[in-house]
Structure 1
Amino acid sequence: MTGKTHIIGGIAAGLAFAQITNYDPVILLGAGAVGAVIPDICHGGSKIGRAFPLVSKIINGLFGHRTFTHSLVFLLMAAYLFHTFLPNAALAAGLLVGIGSHLLLDMATKNGIKLFFPFKFTVRFPVTTKTGGSAEHVIFALLSFLAVYFGFSAFDFVY
């Protein structure tokens, strides 16, 4: 998936998570968007990879793309670090929800992810799409709709 799809996915996931928690939806919205781009630090051409090129190059050299940073091990390590060092539980939760949304979206691509890294097998959904393809545009539109829907609910707007 492209960066914009990951970002809207993180926003939708953060706002959906706001429906079942008492966390501030604004924090979940922002943290979900940021968390959704974190796993692609392993790819130098990604939004976060371009922002942190040295870190991206090191992680890619050690692990490659869609391996460690797209795994449950990474998610658990991030959970530990966020809950230990971040001062706000909503921020930590939102970042984790964003990372989770990223993993799910990349499982919908033909290349899939190494969800159970260090094991080498690839996990993907039975029906997949090509990154940047027309199906991704449909996914982006659906996630945009969900973000608006959950946003109205999270911010208690009157319908």
Structure 2
Amino acid sequence: MQYKTYLSTSLVVSLGAVFPNIDEPYSWIGSRTRGISDLIKGFFGHRGLTHSLMDLFIVFLTMILMVSFTPFSPIIGLYFILGYLLHLVGDSFSKSGVKWLLPFWDKAFQSGLGVVYYKKGFLAERIIFIVSMLLLVAQVRALNFESLFNLNIVQAIANLIKNSTSYIGS
């Protein structure tokens, strides 16, 4: 992989990793999408639906549609989903945990079993952030995501959607 590819994949994973916080108007992404962020927080609250497997699935379907109808790269979509999932896993180690099964179940799950956790704004959170960023850069450099998939699942689903919609339109 070239340096330019490392940089772009790191940026996409990072964008995916901050995207769940679109439900918080004062987060990095929320402050850049203020109207949308306010609406999402008003309807679902912070760490509501955007911090669940349901929303991860919705984002996955959105990526499939983007791959189907635009020149959007499937591998970039997978990197975005990876970042999103890593955010949810990271938040599950916070003291309040993550409601993985919303809207079906309102129970928050804390991955550290109440023993290993961090609190927002404390030193442990900052250390985890710095170590995570260093690991992200190292992993993206070492990981060739394309080699993990002999069949690009996102592209295959996108082609199926594209072909089925062409039959509907004719």
Partner of 1:70: 51
1:52 maps onto 2:33 in alignment: yes
Within 5 A, what are the aligned runs for 1:84-103? 84-86=65-67, 87-103=72-88
Partner of 1:123: 109
Number of residue pairs the alignment of both structures matches: 133
Within 5 A, what are the aligned runs for 1:141-156? 141-154=130-143
What SS does the aligned partner of 1:122 have?
coil
So what's the TM-score if we normalise by structure 1? Answer: 0.75
Q: In terms of mean alpha carbon deviation, does 109-118 or 146-155 score higher? A: 146-155
Q: Give the conservation status (yes or no) of the 8 Å contact 2:99–2:106.
A: yes
What SS does the aligned partner of 1:65 have?
coil
Give the Cα–Cα distance (whole angstroms) in 1 for the partners of residues 85 and 29 of structure 2: 16
| Percent sequence identity over aligned pairs | 28
Deviation (angstroms), 1:148 = 4.4
The amino acid of 1:132's aligned partner reads G
Give the Cα–Cα distance (whole angstroms) in 2 for the partners of residues 145 and 85 of structure 1: 30
Give the Cα–Cα distance (whole angstroms) in 2 for the partners of residues 148 and 81 of structure 1: 26
Cα pair distance change 1:33/1:42, threshold 3 Å: same
What SS does the aligned partner of 1:44 have?
coil
Q: Give the conservation status (yes or no) of the 8 Å contact 2:9–2:140.
A: no
Deviation track 1:44-81 (CA, whole Å, cap 9, x = no partner) reads 11011100111011111111110100000000010011
Deviation (angstroms), 1:112 = 1.2
Partner of 1:35: 16
So what's the TM-score if we normalise by structure 2? Answer: 0.71
Give the Cα–Cα distance (whole angstroms) in 2 for the partners of residues 152 and 84 of structure 1: 28
1:136 maps onto 2:117 in alignment: no
Give the Cα–Cα distance (whole angstroms) in 1 for the partners of residues 19 and 121 of structure 2: 19
Q: In terms of mean alpha carbon deviation, does 141-150 or 74-83 score higher? A: 141-150
Structure 2, unmatched stretches of 5+, are 145-170
Q: Give the conservation status (yes or no) of the 8 Å contact 2:97–2:110.
A: yes
Deviation (angstroms), 1:90 = 1.4
Partner of 2:149: none
> Cα RMSD over matched residues?
2.0
